[in-house]
Amino acid sequence: MRIAVAGTFDIIHPGHIYLLKEASKYGELHVIIARDKNVKKTKGKKPIFNENERKLIIENMKFVKKAYLGDLNDFFKVIKFIDPDIIFLGPDQDKEWAETEIRKRDLNAKIIQLNLRENYSSSGTLEILRRLYKKIDKEGKGGDRNPSSK
Amino acid sequence: MRIAVAGTFDIIHPGHIYLLKEASKYGELHVIIARDKNVKKTKGKKPIFNENERKLIIENMKFVKKAYLGDLNDFFKVIKFIDPDIIFLGPDQDKEWAETEIRKRDLNAKIIQLNLRENYSSSGTLEILRRLYKKIDKEGKGGDRNPSSK
């Protein structure tokens, strides 16, 4: 069984680990990394790590068989290439959209979505951004900056 | 051969991947994660991810055999438990200190340090913090914030 997962995977957090682990239970895990240009378009801002860095980090995660950069124009181009049995979605990804698109494209992949209730988001990107803002806010005020810090 | 590496490993970046990969070339890689309290003490600020999150992420990296939380008081307690053949240091870790300490403690570990010239630091923590600051500075000014961003 080949499983496909797609995402930005900018700053690796426990929610990512959980997603990759659950997806990989179904078979060989192939991960598509969103391109910098598309992240900028979709989220309105560039990721912290560029696409090659994000790919390098993901392909060095235990549950991952292979990582790919997405296509700049057609999200389904790399999906077609992988030809997965399952497209595994994160809890915040659009299942309805994915189902409509695979029906349009002669793809036989089944869609499985990680359950929202399984505590994915609590350690997710929003939580990390909250911590980063808090940290930088503190440091901006010189709160706990330490000159000896490496 | 058992190899020990120790560090904070807060936000995984390509420099970490490189360090883990190089260390794991010598044998089975055991990673010691710095405790939150000690990071706060040494660097003057808490890490973004807590010690259990950092351990979870590291133990799910491909080159890692096992991850451990460090001891709160004695850095060498877990080293003694692992009983490594090699202690592998990052380019910014203190080789002289490590050598003095292992001599004091009946440890036979050899110390190998990742070469500074091998481009570790260019994608390291300082570079990431630079990017985060830049990002948050921009967003603070409302520069590229997008209400549709997830």
Which value does ipTM take for this structure?
A: 0.82
For residue B81, give the nearest of B95, B92, B94, B67 by alpha carbon: B67
Q: Is residue A73 domain-resident?
A: yes
Closest CB to B53: pick one of A14, A49, A133.
A14
This prediction's pTM: 0.83
Overall domain count for chain B: 1
pLDDT at A131: 67
Q: Is residue B50 domain-resident?
A: yes
Q: Is residue B147 domain-resident?
A: no
B44 CB within 8 Å of a chain A CB: yes
Band (B137; pLDDT cuts 50, 70, 90) = low
Q: Is residue A146 domain-resident?
A: no
The torsion angles phi and psi of A137, rounded to 5 degrees, stand at -60, -50
Least confidently predicted of A95-99, A112-116, B78-82: A112-116
Give the number of A-B residue pairs with CB atoms closer than 8 Å. 100
* Domain of B81, in residue numbers: 2-141
pLDDT at B132: 65
Instruction: Provide the token pair at A25.
Output: 């239970």
How buried is A115 (Cβ within 10 angstroms: 0-12 exposed, 13-18 middle, 19+ buried)? exposed
**pLDDT at residue B139 is higher than 90:** no
Q: Is the dihedral of CA B121, A62, B77, B42 positive or negative?
A: positive
**What's the rounded mean pLDDT across residues A88-99?**
90
| B139/A49 CB distance under 8 A | no
Q: State the residue for tokens 């990582």.
A: A67
CATH, residue A68: 3.40.50.620
**pLDDT at residue A4 is higher than 80:** yes
Query: Which range, A25-29, B17-21, B117-121, is most confident?
Result: A25-29
Band (B37; pLDDT cuts 50, 70, 90) = very high
Q: How far is B103 from chain A (nearest CA, A)?
A: 25
Q: Is residue A66 domain-resident?
A: yes
**Between B118 and B54, the higher pLDDT residue:** B54
Q: State the residue for tokens 């990052």.
A: B90
Q: How far is A106 from chain B (nearest CA, A)?
A: 29
**pLDDT at residue A149 is higher than 90:** no
Q: Is residue A128 domain-resident?
A: yes
Q: How far is A150 from chain B (nearest CA, A)?
A: 6
**pLDDT at residue A96 is higher than 50:** yes
pLDDT at A134: 64
A57 CB within 8 Å of a chain B CB: yes
Say how many C-beta atoms besides its own lie within 10 A of residue A57's C-beta: 24
Q: Is residue A147 domain-resident?
A: no
**pLDDT at residue B100 is higher than 60:** yes
A139 CB within 8 Å of a chain B CB: yes
